[in-house]
Structure 1
Amino acid sequence: MERQRRTHAEARTRMREGILRLGNEQLAEVGAAALSVRGIARGLGVASSAIYRHVSSRDELLTMLLVDAYTELADAALAADDPAAPPAERFAAIARATRAWAVSNPARWALAYGSPVPGYRAPAEQTTGPGTRVMGAFLALLASGGQGEHGSRSAPVSAALGRELAAGAAEIGVDAGPELAAAAIEAWTGLIGLISAEVFGQLGPDLSPHGPEFLDRWISRTTTRFGLSPGYRR
């Protein structure tokens, strides 16, 4: 019986791996909106009913792929972090690893940070945790720098926004005031936008090859702004 249970578990693992592999291939070939559970069944050479025991709909497939993308991105980005290094170097390493993963996985980056998929809404209870791991690391590092330059230059946040920011920071285990949290989110969305501009070709053919330099400029500006290392350069 014990061996049979292990066999069932191994079969489920292999099926999940196959669903993720073919789902990611579909993402790259036809995009998220055209994902097909039946197409995955055909690719695996099994009946559709076998797939539906693991993923019951296109939306569930999207969620599986989204969680997988968030998890792999976070694992790659946080693996580059050396807790013994100075904060500015840690921050730079995570940012560069985030960009490297995005450039290597453009379709999966598009699922995570591109245009919403029509008719799909990601379930927060499944996606928020894996989707905020990198942002949480960024916020923790930025908070470690104190006020830096941003403290005297940031406009105060409203009471309503302050409550949301406090709740969000507490949820990911970071102690940060509302102004710092707001500035950190602005910096985070700036990083996402910069990486997306390169990945989605929005920089154009002349500037796209300079994506790493644009990122280094963003890193230098952000580490200085948040007091991680004034005037930090690679």
Structure 2
Amino acid sequence: MDKTAPQQTAVTAYLNLPSSEQKGKDIHVHQFQNPPGEGQCQFEAEHTLFMSLAPRPLHYVQSQDGNTFTGLIQKGDFSLAPAGSPFFARWEGHEHCLEVKLTDQFVRKVVQETLEQDCDRISLVPGFRMRDPQIETIAMMLLTEGQQNTASSLMMDSLANVLTVHLLRQYATIQPHLPVYDGGIPQRQLAQVLDYMDVHLEQDLKLADLAQLLDMSQFHFSRLFKQSMGQWH
């Protein structure tokens, strides 16, 4: 977010998280702190989620897409700025935010592979001060994983897919119907995946590589694999 306040932005951490197929360009997680001020941004090719991490509620003025919000935002509240949508914010206290950006190309790919729908008919809807426990959980998992010395690409890819599908299901112009996957991966295919993981144990495994082994979308593979391993609830 471009700063217009006279004080310099204090950035506590910047996490550019790698992606299996876009070489770090599918998802970015940026944690930052700012003194009182205002800023404006517009990401032409990225959908951006801003989530407050401030311990106390802050008074904000936010505007985008011809709409304006004025009020208190507390920890865990988030705003959503779709790609190409100018976003303005003014805050009256010391803000602490988490910014999660997903490329439009990645979101479109998830729509096509996972939902099997025309990506041009589905778009994310701008929003202010929204509350969603699942979004908060995924965002904090992204932050925690990104703070590791060696962030797992497999974990980051899985979280990016889950976050994107949830956003499409809850915050899109059309509520897509998600296919239901039950029963996990067949034993023969599961053995193939586990053998691949064993052979490439020393490498940074990518979700896309594992999904490609079985000719599945990343989201489809992730859900079935977790069911097979007894980790999906």
Q: Normalising by the residue count of structure 1, what TM-score does the alignment of the two structures yield? A: 0.28
Give the number of the structure whose residues are more often helix, by fraction: 1
Give the number of the structure whose residues are more often strand, by fraction: 2
Larger-Rg structure? 1
Q: Normalising by the residue count of structure 2, what TM-score does the alignment of the two structures yield? A: 0.28
